[in-house]
Amino acid sequence: MAFRAPLRMMSSVARQKLKIGLIPADGIGREVIPAARATLEALGSDIPKLEFVDLEAGFELFATSGEALPEDTVEALKECDCALFGAVSSPIKKVTGYSSPIVGLRKKLDLYANVRPVVSVPKDPSAKPNIDLVVVRENTECLYIKHETMTRTEHGREARATRLITERASRRIGKMAFEIALKRPRKLVTIIHKSNVLSVTDGLFRESIHSVKRLEEDGRFDSITLEEQIVDSAVYRLIREPQIYDVMVAPNLYGDILSDAAAALVGSLGLVPSINAGDDFVMGEPVHGSAPDIAGREIANPLAAIRSAALMLRHMGYGKGADRIDNAVNEVIREEQVLTPDLGGKSKTHEVLAEVLRKM
């Protein structure tokens, strides 16, 4: 089922060509991004002529060059219409000089919204999915500003992290969530927070989102139903009764955790797409990580990256091309004949791609 999207659509009318930056980055990103590119190329006249720009970033690049996100990559993206990002390896221990390039790109390009639709694929194409929700995650703040310190005390080391929540960022992610909800039948937005404990930071987040609806002078959000859920309770209810959710809007960390948990409900992280969106640029990114344990073995699931390409197109106004990709992917999932091991199959990455292209 296609994501009933979008946010602030970019006009597709005047474009004669789409210039797309490709950043495979680390691990299986180098296997799934070429698959996403192939599906875009298969669309033909449903989208403008394509030009691809191959760009570098990632931990593997850092290991060889000392740079995880070259300035040349950032500048090249500013000349592109959109981009696809693969996956990045993030070491669990501090590595001096290294900072995640995907976090850096979100900040440098002001891609303030990470939008992750999680939709099940029913066996019967005419049936409604039992899971159909969207996690709208604020992309630039919270603990992901990575302001951390370590000091020594008489009792040992003491680590601190600064968490940032601003009214501006909270309001614009709230508005993004409302815009998405307006395009969906239920028109329900649930604010995810922990303001019963973090009354200042999460309190500001929830209050700012409430103010978006209240301050919208033309009343365009009057049809939106606004609810709230404490984050730990939200995770519990997401597992027990995911059908209660429509659009979930959350600070950065909560949104990251919730969307990965939701992916388990539809079978695999290898199925869940996302876009990083700002007002003028969009970058598709599969939700899964770099999976170094399977990199190079040709068993990576390309469907999340392929769906991310479709989501990127839909955001830009190319719904026909996005529908062709989404419908083909859904057919492959329903038939259960050509699937990678994460979905219980035995097929290789290139075989799944070939089946999607055949369905298209």
Q: Locate the domains of the chain by residue range.
A: 1-109+281-359, 132-265
Cα dihedral across residues 169, 171, 173, 179: positive or negative: negative
Please say if 54 is a catalytic residue: no
Phi, psi of 100 (to 5 degrees): -55, 125
Instruction: Give 43-49 contacts, CB < 8 A, sequence gap 24+.
Output: 43/321, 43/324, 43/325, 43/360, 46/318, 46/320, 46/321, 46/324, 47/18, 47/313, 47/318, 47/321, 48/12, 48/15, 48/16, 48/17, 48/18, 49/16, 49/17, 49/18
Fold of 132-265: Isopropylmalate Dehydrogenase (3.40.718)
Task: Considering the candidates 49, 78, 146, 232, report the single residue annotated as catalytic.
Answer: 232
Model pLDDT for residues 59-77, shown as the tens digit of each residue: 999 999 999 999 999 999 9
- Which of 175, 194, 254, 342 is labelled catalytic? 194
Answer yes or no: same fold for 1-109+281-359 and 132-265: yes
Per annotation, catalytic residue among 46, 110, 260, 279:
260
Active site residue 72: no
What is the third-level CATH fold of 1-109+281-359? Answer: Isopropylmalate Dehydrogenase (3.40.718)
Q: For the chain, give the longest Cα–Cα distance.
A: 68
Residue of 81, 132, 246, 256 marked active site: 256
Q: Using one digit for the tens of pLDDT, what is the confidence trace for 160-200?
A: 999 999 999 999 999 999 999 999 999 999 999 999 999 99
Which of the four pLDDT bands, split at 50, 70 and 90, describes residue 14?
A: low
Q: Which of 144, 245, 254, 318 is catalytic?
A: 144
Query: Over the stretch 216-230, which tens digit does the pLDDT of each residue have?
Result: 768 889 999 999 999
Q: Please confirm, yes or no, whether 232 is among the known catalytic residues.
A: yes
Is 94 in the active site? no
